[in-house]
Amino acid sequence: MHFEPESYEYTTRRGIVYAHAEGRPLRMTLYIPDPDDRPARPGMVLIHGGAWLLGTRYQQAWYCRQFARAGFVVMTIDYRLMPSHAFPKCLHDSKAAVRWLRLHAGELRVDPERIVTFGASAGGHLAAFLAVTGPEDGLEGPENPGARSDVLAAVSLYGAVDLTCYRDLPAYGPLNDVTRRFLDEFSGREGFAPEKHAWEAASPITYARKTAKPIFFVHGRSDRIVHFEQTERFHRRLQELGIPTGLIALPNRGHGFDYIFTRQRRDIFCEMLSFLGAHVPDVEECASTAGPAGPGAG
């Protein structure tokens, strides 16, 4: 598949405060398709990675631009990070972002019923959480009341979706012990779910049920930072529940492969759009033709 030019140009609005958490302003950047005469457009909350410890909203700028050019109003966010802020504060901020987009849907010409999410790595963890949780799970947070935090579909790019893999699978990698200690701190410090083991409670796969929304997964089989088995388990669980899901499993690709294999990234982006287009009306798909370099190719 070969990537072709997109439909829309875009403008950006930077540094907008979307919530105040513990007295701290949380900021975001908007990418707005332009020109665009549609009465309402799909919206997207885009969440960066960085092990819930590092990163900024500028980290996934390539995806922000491409989704905006495909017709989405994209809201890319900063959120509270470790070591000061453990789970579920990062999820509270992500849900606050979805609610902000709904509360401002009129002025941005966003259809509040067509909001999706995208995330990579730690952001994929949060994007998947948005697709499987609701108010009944007690994970909403207090910011931006008066709107829902659900999404219509999600894309998880090598997301950490089942943290129990770090505990239960054979150890590999030089930082495995450090990772386990970090995840103990990340998932257990707040004591938000004492009736569950913290690692399960901080994993989106735990909340998968028949009300979950469609999720599209992309993951390299050689990922030594986020186990491919996490995505494989979650994908299989959604299939068992009858939830629409897709998985691109890439041979010989590790974590963050899309920063290196940019041609492959473009092809996979078209697959993401195709999946979203199947579940979100009025999504512009890539103009593309079949070719020898598909998503699993080098």
In whole angstroms, give the CA distance from residue 69 to residue 3.
Answer: 13
Stated length of the chain: 298
Nearest to 283 by CA among 40, 12, 103: 40
Examine the pLDDT at 292 and tell me if it is beyond 50: no
Query: What domains lie within the chain, and their CATH numbers?
Result: 9-279 (3.40.50.1820)
Least confident of 10-19, 116-125, 270-279, 283-292: 283-292
In whole angstroms, give the CA distance from residue 183 to residue 228.
Answer: 17
Bin 44: left if φ > 0, else alpha if -120 < ψ < 50, else beta. beta
Can you tell me the mean pLDDT for 211-225? 97
Which two tokens mark 10? 């875009």
pLDDT digit string, tens, across residues 150-175: 999 999 999 999 999 888 766 655 55
- The string of DSSP letters for the chain reads ------S-EEEEEEEEEEEEETTEEEEEEEEEEES---SSEEEEEEE--STTTS--TTTTHHHHHHHHHTT-EEEEE----TTT--TTHHHHHHHHHHHHHHHTHHHHTEEEEEEEEEEETHHHHHHHHHHH--GGGS---SSS-SS----S-EEEES----THHHHHSPP-STTHHHHHHHHHHHHHTT---TTS-HHHHT-GGGG--TTPPPEEEEEETT-SSS-HHHHHHHHHHHHHHT--EEEEEETT--TTGGGT-HHHHHHHHHHHHHHHHHHSTTPPPP-----S--TT--
Per-residue pLDDT, 253: 97
In whole angstroms, give the CA distance from residue 121 to residue 173.
Answer: 17
Predicted structure pTM score: 0.92
Per-residue pLDDT, 37: 81
Per-residue pLDDT, 53: 96
Contact 11, 58 (CB under 8 A): no
Which two tokens mark 103? 């509360």
Examine the pLDDT at 298 and tell me if it is beyond 50: no
Per-residue pLDDT, 286: 80
In whole angstroms, give the CA distance from residue 273 to residue 179.
Answer: 33
Examine the pLDDT at 291 and tell me if it is beyond 70: no
Can you tell me the mean pLDDT for 19-36? 93
